[in-house]
């Protein structure tokens, strides 16, 4: 059975997908009957990224799907594009902003094996929170302890 997705009354849902997420976005939209959000991305000659939300997300329950697997984009490029999109959306005052990332990038680097190593999943979640995400949804955590990485005041659902 499917668990119901509860959407607060008065906050219509809208789902955005980053480039590379189109197939999953189409399946989710077909299943839920929600509408797709519109955004635009541009890469300048020097490699900088421009991101724009093409519709109002004010007071909406916003979901952003990030699926890198088939995108052909380098992981760090995709993550920067995600951060810029989330930041642009946060500036438009959505009710709630959830990042749907079936595969949490850098999940295998979830612990320090030797002194001086970084813990990228923790930093990545903090960056997404700082950009404006309220919640994170993932399907496959490398280690259940990663749920402890969630910044205060946010939810990490698996």
Please list the pLDDT of the chain residue by residue as tens digits (158 residues): 555 666 666 788 999 999 888 888 999 999 988 889 999 999 999 999 999 999 999 999 999 998 865 556 688 888 899 999 999 999 999 999 999 988 777 666 555 556 666 566 777 888 889 999 998 887 765 555 445 445 555 555 54
Q: What is the pTM of this model?
A: 0.78
Per-residue buried b or exposed e for 13-34, using 16+ beta carbons within 10 Å of the residue's own CB: bbbbbbebbeebbeebeeeeeb
What's residue 107's pLDDT? 63
What's residue 74's pLDDT? 81
For residues 137 and 103, what is the distance between their CA atoms, to the nearest angstrom?
Answer: 9
DSSP for 61-129 reads EEEEE---TTT-S-HHHHHHHHHHHHHHHHTT--SEEEEE-SS-TTTT--S-SSTT---HHHHHHHHHH
Residue 103, both tokens: 């595969």
What's residue 122's pLDDT? 76
What's residue 148's pLDDT? 46
């Amino acid at each position: 059975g499917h668990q119901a997705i509860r959407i607060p009354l008065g906050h219509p849902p809208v789902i955005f997908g980053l480039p590379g997420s189109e197939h999953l976005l189409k399946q989710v939209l077909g299943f839920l009957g929600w509408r797709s959000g519109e955004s635009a991305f541009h890469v300048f000659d020097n490699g900088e990224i421009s991101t724009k939300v093409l519709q109002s997300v004010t007071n909406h329950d916003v979901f952003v799907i990030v699926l890198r697997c088939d995108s052909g984009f380098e992981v760090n490029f995709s993550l920067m594009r995600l951060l810029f999109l989330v930041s642009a959306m946060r500036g438009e005052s959505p009710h709630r902003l959830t990042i749907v990332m079936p595969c949490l990038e850098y999940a295998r680097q979830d612990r320090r094996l030797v002194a001086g190593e970084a813990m990228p999943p923790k930093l990545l979640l903090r960056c997404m929170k700082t950009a404006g995400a309220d919640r994170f949804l993932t399907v496959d955590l490398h280690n259940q302890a990663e749920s402890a990485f969630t910044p205060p005041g946010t939810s990490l659902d698996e």
